[in-house]
Structure 1
Amino acid sequence: MREFKDWKEFITRVLINSGQFEKPVIEFKGEVEIETYKLTDKNSLTEIRVGYFLQENKLIYLHIFNPTVPGYNKYVEDEYFIIMILTIKIVMETQLWILINRM
């Protein structure tokens, strides 16, 4: 299995190597780098927007966006954050349980 140096390299390789996305358009907003990937299918309006914190090159967000389905865009964004929060909570509770049971 190939290892990647960071999320940016991983996301870029996966999307570009799939052959379904063009090279990203890159813009900067303050300390955030935003990459926008568009599908090679010109009939599709779907984009993937990825934000990275420049100082530490950390992934901030990954949004799948299509202007024809605004409600779904918000749903996907909310689901991502709910899943992340629940995952973090479960991991923290598990680590706490292990720590308590070792005492």
Structure 2
Amino acid sequence: MDVQRPQPASNRDVCGRWASTTSTIFLKGPDAIIKLKKDVQIIKFNMVTNMAMATKDKLKKVEEQMVTKKDSQKMMILLDKILKNTEKLGQERILTFYRIQEIG
């Protein structure tokens, strides 16, 4: 999988980039999620570009959320909430990645 460089200001401008391993898909941004056919589990985690500048209490906890293919509106609300929770620590940029795993 390619190493991702820090992206432009807004996460909303980032296109989804895929690298799939078995049934797990790694991507940046929400673009590809709606295309999934099965029920999925969305796990969000942050990486800070300069770890020396970050303290543990500043890092967001991993969020896990179950969503169903029939509930795309809730899915979009969830993604919107995740994007709004992404922030900068001082001048350090937080990269938010989504691990999408099919259920069943």
Q: Which has the larger radius of gyration?
A: 1
TM-score by length of 2: 0.31
Greater RCO, 1 or 2 (C-alpha within 8 Å, sep 6+): 2
TM-score by length of 1: 0.31
